[in-house]
Structure 1
Amino acid sequence: MSQPVVHINNLNLQYQQMLVLSDLNWTILSGENWLLGGNSGNGKTSLGKVIAGLLPASGNIKITFNDTSKLPAKVLFVESWYQFKNLEGVANFYYQQRYTSQQAKETLTVKAELAYYAKEYHLNIADVEPILNRLDFTSLQNSQLIELSSGEHKKLQLVKALWLKPQVLIIDQPYTGLDLKSRKNLNLLLDETASAGVTLILISNDDDLPSSINRFATIVNKKLVAVNTKTDLQQFIPLRENKTIPAFLRTSPVYSSQQIAKMENIQISYGEKQVLKNINWEVKAGEKWLLQGHNGSGKSTLLSLINGDHPQSYANTLYLFGNKRGSGESIWDIKQHIGLISPEFHWYFDASATVWESIASGLYDSVGLFRQLPYSKSILVDELVEYFGLTEEKNRLLNTLPLGTQRLVLLARTIIKNPELLILDEPCQGLDKQQTKHFNQLVDELCSNGMTLIYVGHFESQLPNCLEKKIVLENGEVILIEDLKTDKAYKQLKDYALNFEPSL
């Protein structure tokens, strides 16, 4: 008879005076590997953190480790994303700092981070090499932590967890930011980890899972509900109400130029590492582009040039909104034309502002609200708060909300000024399927009014319908520019998205 590994009885969790979990019961037996799914914000992440001892809660939680196992008697929780620190132990980086020439002095290299981890947990450094290879991470060992994209940081945390092999491993959003090849290899690695005796708990709504996942649950009304299959979890994700888009977003943006961005033989390097090579690309007003590429292909760096954040843009031939970069415009002049959301921007955003203030800050391209809004602009914020269903949360601090709700807030911030260019870099990370569908419908409606779009996405089924053109990067080079207007091109898009899933 299987023995309980995790036994929870009458668990109660209160956070910021809000009851998150109530009299929750859950028993995980040896040999069981669970998927914890359901709608965004139902308490999944909080439950995982409680089991790992990262959040205090009342009730009975008993973890029974196997004394005969060689695996560490430990519960490890892998965050949906990881906040790294610099050499002085400080984590307060700013968004543009990732691209500055001084970054090498700020953080450890990947290799040094792994060496530190090996020393902390008494691991053999040679044992990590196969994991690095299978997740295509070997070439990044000399990179600084601050140079990594959010997807690459996710890989690093997965590498460390799979290397350690704790007796209980909880992973929040394991596939966030990973390309298709990495996802497949991760599932194989997770199966091998489970076979070695690790109990897995994955917090996810993804469809492609390790074959070792054999139990499924969600949280409904603050209690755990077990179901028979992952398909059964969908019934617990509520349909979102279709609302009319605010009137101020139903008009076309006012374009300052018919040329949004033009790049001529762009070259970006960090020392001997070349990140972008001979990039030639033009985006015209009203075009809708899909940007794809494997992890580390250069997508984030390419977008940082358009958004004005990369200092090496001055050393290249780059035109933004009709003006050559370096002709006297400031970074804030450029940002006035752009609405941006990306995992990295979310990562560095000041989460101590309220929901209302966070949305309003998009009017001024700041990371908080530092001025009194006139009544006419306050009305715009109120309209977006209502449209995104955030009325009850509008006075709450951003950092007290579930990750998916935080992302909706930043999406509202992105569109509030009806920008000429909308840059949506993995905009639906952290959202459940209904939220993703709802947001992409909003993107389609916005873009029907003439807005220019650059969209970095996941599966073909999770992309907006308005996309017209596609550019694909590989190892810093453009390997494909394609028009998606014909049926043949769209079929190619579907095949490509299924066989070459893009990410950060």
Structure 2
Amino acid sequence: MTEPVVHIDNLTIQYQNHTVLDGLSWSIRKGEHYVIGGKSGSGKTTLAKAIAGLIPANDAIQIHFDTQSPLRAKVEYIANWYQFTNLEGDRNFYYQQRYNRHQGKDTLSVKGDLEHFAQKEGLCFADIQQRIHDFGFEHAQSTQLIELSSGEHKKLQLIRGLWIKPQLLLIDEPYTGLDTKSRALLNAWLDDWANQGVQLILITNDNNLPKAINRYAQIVNGKVETVSSPTSFFRDSKRNKKDIPAFLKEVPETSFDTIVEMENVNIRYGDKVVLKDISWTVKVGEKWLLQGPNGSGKSTLLSLINGDHPQAYGLNLKLFGQPRGSGESIWDIKQKIGMISPEMHWYFDTNATVWHTIASGFYDSNGWFIDVKFHEKLQIEELLEFFDLRDVKDRILHTLPLGKQRLALLARTIVKNPPLLVLDEPCQGLDSDQTQYFNDVVDELAHYGKTLIYVGHYESQLPQCIDHRIVLEHGEVKAIEDIVLNDKKIKESVIA
């Protein structure tokens, strides 16, 4: 029998006093393409990083490359999020910086990043051109890394990792942030590479997988268990439904009838048009779904609403009944908004505890805040109880499983009971049960006068309260519709 591609013998990895992998042994043979799924926080990412050599494994892992293969004798790991640096090698970015053009030039462009990567790895740029085109990523070539949306960052990660064509490829949450078309293209690409000999290990609970996938495993009590299909993966325990905290049942006071009014709004960076002639009105109490393919302008549109975009002044734009630039400060705007987004999650203070994370929602900061008032402390404690986070309130946010991180950030979003909730792909990386729980909470909140703007790609993973939809494409409004999600019936459609 030939040697396995990956052989692991008695691998143990601990973080502080917590054992993540406990005497784990596992072998992967040539042609076995795995999905590793199961409970969040079980050790999936830790195992992948150990196989890739990013975490010390004390000689417990052996990789046997095929010396006759034309593929690179390399293990390539594509992380859940893309960690990039500025031109000086620094990762110390802040959230609003991605909309400030002159500061954005502190990072490489997409093409510059790919060219640098090609030179480092000895790759030919022509070999990836067609993939870039197929991914719909050509328009982003001149875009600075800091300006990319989460979906665009994922595409860049995938293009880089797949370009190498390694013998062993591990991808952590491969579909995070990708629109439906891009997910299908990725699966076709992975099938192509598998047919050429690339060994695949994907970390995901998604059911829409490449055809090449033929093995399934999960980590239970620090050890690998194989299962017959993704439906056999263990899931996080379903949370018992609790009564929503009393302060969130109070309808936010509003002295205005509209949340957003914009007419013929345009945003451009030099010759690049990001938003073109956008006209959109959001009335108090409406629940909007914002959709569009990666790079369509969704993040830029939201940045105009939440006060982060410097070009908001001088536009025909009203927020909360007041023309933008009529004397209000950015903090006046943010006080009325609760927001969560993948980008905010990226840039969030890495030293913030769960308690500090929620408390920062009162002051719209990314972790830092002044001393909270007594009634604010009570609201924080109520949310810790509501989201089952009390036992981890003193843990550093980024050390928790992704599902708990997102719940803590949702608690931060609603802690001040704002009139507008902006939830930008809030369920990225969550499994179906976690997503359902999250959206059930959103539906419950919607009963108490909240206005909602929700960004999501998949109708099957959305709150049922949504009653309107706006669709962007290439920076323009493609459609504005009234919808009913529970039976997918289109009540009225206005195509722009």
TM over 0.5: yes
Q: Assess, with a 3 A threshold, how the Cα gap between structure 1 residues 50 and 261 changes in structure 2: closer, same or farther.
A: same
Match in the other structure for 1:491:
489
Mark the CA change 1:2 to 1:460 in structure 2 (over 3 Å): closer, same or farther: farther
- How far does the alpha carbon of each residue in 1:30-72 deviate from its partner, in whole angstroms, 9 at most, with x for none? 0011001112221111111111111224561111111111212
Determine the C-alpha separation between the residues in 2 that align with 1:112 and 1:66.
Answer: 33
SS for the counterpart of 2:355 is helix
* Structure 1 residue 104 displacement after superposition: 4.7
How much does 1:349 deviate?
1.1
The CA deviation string for residues 409-459 of structure 1, in whole angstroms up to 9 with x for no partner, is: 111101111110000000011222221111100000000111000001132
What's the counterpart of residue 497 of structure 1?
A: none
Q: Secondary structure at the match of 2:31?
A: coil
Aligned match of 2:121: 121
Aligned to 1:68: 68
Secondary structure in structure 2 of the residue aligned to 1:484: strand
Q: Is the 8 A contact 1:342 1:425 kept in 2?
A: yes
**1:42 equivalent in structure 2:** 42
Q: Which moved more, 1:289-298 or 1:1-10?
A: 1-10
In structure 1, the partner of 2:222 is 222
Q: Check conservation: 1:131, 1:162, Cα contact below 8 A.
A: no
SS at match of 1:73: strand
The aligned runs of 1:140-179 (5 Å cut-off) are 140-179=140-179
Instruction: Give the drift of 1:135.
Output: 1.1
Residue 167 of structure 1: SS of its match in structure 2? strand
SS of structure 1 residue aligned to 2:142? coil
**Amino acid in structure 1 at the alignment position of 2:259:** I
Aligned counterparts of 2:484 and 2:69: Cα–Cα separation in 1: 57
What is the match of residue 305 of structure 2? 306
Match of 2:68, as an amino acid? T
Distance 2:192 2:314 in 1: 48
Query: Are 1:475 and 2:478 matched, yes or no?
Result: no
Deviations 1:275-327 (A, max 9, x none): 10111100011000011101111100000000011111102111001110000
Matches within 5 A, 1:216-255: 216-233=216-233, 235-255=234-254
Tell me how far apart the structure 1 counterparts of residues 104 and 438 of structure 2 sit (CA, whole Å). 37
Letter in 1 for 2:299: S
User: Does the aligned pair in 1 maintain the 2:176–2:428 contact within 8 Å?
Assistant: yes
Aligned-partner Cα distance in 2 for 1:359–1:341: 12
Q: Assess if the C-alpha contact under 8 Å between 1:356 and 1:395 holds in 2.
A: yes
Structure 1 Cα separation of the partners of residues 485 and 130 of structure 2? 43
Please state whether the residue corresponding to 2:11 is helix, strand or coil: strand
For the residue of structure 2 that corresponds to 1:399, the secondary structure is helix
Q: CA deviation at 1:189?
A: 0.4
Unaligned runs of 5+ in 2: 492-496
Select between 265-274 and 108-117 the one with higher mean Cα deviation.
Answer: 108-117
Say which SS state the counterpart of residue 70 (structure 1) adopts: coil
Q: Distance in 2 between matches of 1:104 and 1:335?
A: 23
Aligned partners of 1:141 and 1:228: how far apart in 2? 42
Aligned partner of 1:263 in structure 2 is 262
The AA in structure 2 aligned to 1:116 is: H
Letter in 1 for 2:167: Q
Aligned twin of 2:206: 206
Gaps in structure 1 of 5+ consecutive residues: 494-504
Shift of 1:16: 3.0
Q: Is the 8 A contact 2:459 2:485 kept in 1?
A: no
- Are the aligned partners of 1:2 and 1:31 in contact in 2 as well (CA < 8 Å)? no
Please show how residues 290-369 of structure 1 align to structure 2 within 5 Å. Answer: 290-369=289-368
Distance 1:136 1:199 in 2: 26
Tell me, in whole angstroms, the C-alpha distance in 1 between the residues paired with 2:245 and 2:304.
Answer: 31
Separation in 2 of the partners of 1:205 and 1:280? Answer: 38
The CA distance in 2 between the partners of 1:244 and 1:7, in whole Å, is 49
Q: Is the 8 A contact 1:13 1:58 kept in 2?
A: no
Q: CA deviation at 1:185?
A: 0.7
Taking the aligned partners of 2:174 and 2:386, their CA distance within structure 1 comes to 30
Q: TM-score, normalised by structure 1?
A: 0.95
**CA offsets 1:341-360 (integer angstroms, 9 cap, x no match):** 00111111112111101111
Superposition deviation, residue 129 in structure 1: 0.7
Q: Give the letter aligned to residue 263 of structure 1.
A: M
Q: How many residue pairs were aligned?
A: 491
| Partners of 1:378 and 1:3 in 2: CA distance | 58
1:101 Cα offset (Å): 2.3
One-letter amino acid matched to 1:94: Y
2:38 is matched by which residue type in structure 1? G
SS in 2 for 1:102: helix
- Alpha-carbon distance between aligned partners in 2 of 1:249 and 1:23, rounded to the nearest angstrom: 46
Closer, same or farther in 2 for the Cα pair 1:52/1:285, shift >3 Å?
A: same
**1:124 corresponds to which letter in structure 2?**
C
Q: Deviations over 1:66-88 (max 9, x none)?
A: 11112121111111111211111
1:204 and 1:458 map into 2 onto residues whose CA distance is 17
Q: Is the 8 A contact 2:98 2:104 kept in 1?
A: no
Equivalent pair of 1:16/1:400 in contact (CA under 8 Å)? no
Measure, in 1, the Cα distance between the counterparts of 2:262 and 2:226. 53
Question: What corresponds to 2:422 in structure 1?
Answer: 423
Which residue does the alignment assign to 1:180?
180
Counterpart residue identity of residue 282, structure 2:
V
CA distance in 2: counterparts of 1:63 and 1:93, whole angstroms:
36
1:158-177 Cα deviation digits (max 9, x unpaired): 00111101111110110111
Describe how 1:344-493 pairs up with structure 2 within 5 A: 344-485=343-484, 490-492=488-490
Alpha-carbon contact 1:12-1:59 (below 8 Å) kept: no
**CA drift at 1:370:** 3.0
Whole-angstrom distance in 1 between the partners of 2:425 and 2:400? 20
Once the two structures are superposed, residues 171-223 of structure 1 have per-residue CA deviations (whole angstroms, 9 ceiling, x without a partner) of 01101111111111100100111111111110111111000000001111222
1:72-87 equivalences in 2 (<5 Å) = 72-87=72-87
Q: Distance in 2 between matches of 1:355 and 1:486?
A: 33
Q: How far has the Cα of 1:401 moved from its partner?
A: 1.9
> Within 2, Cα distance between the matches of 1:444 and 1:487?
12
Q: Secondary structure at the match of 1:461?
A: helix
**1:43–1:222: 8 Å Cα contact kept in structure 2?**
yes
Residue identity opposite 1:437 in structure 2: Q
Q: Which has the higher contact order (CA 8 A, sep 6+)?
A: 1
Partner of 2:494: none
Match for 2:130: what amino acid? P
Structure 1 residue 487: deviation in Å?
Answer: 8.1
Helix, strand or coil at the partner of 1:87: coil
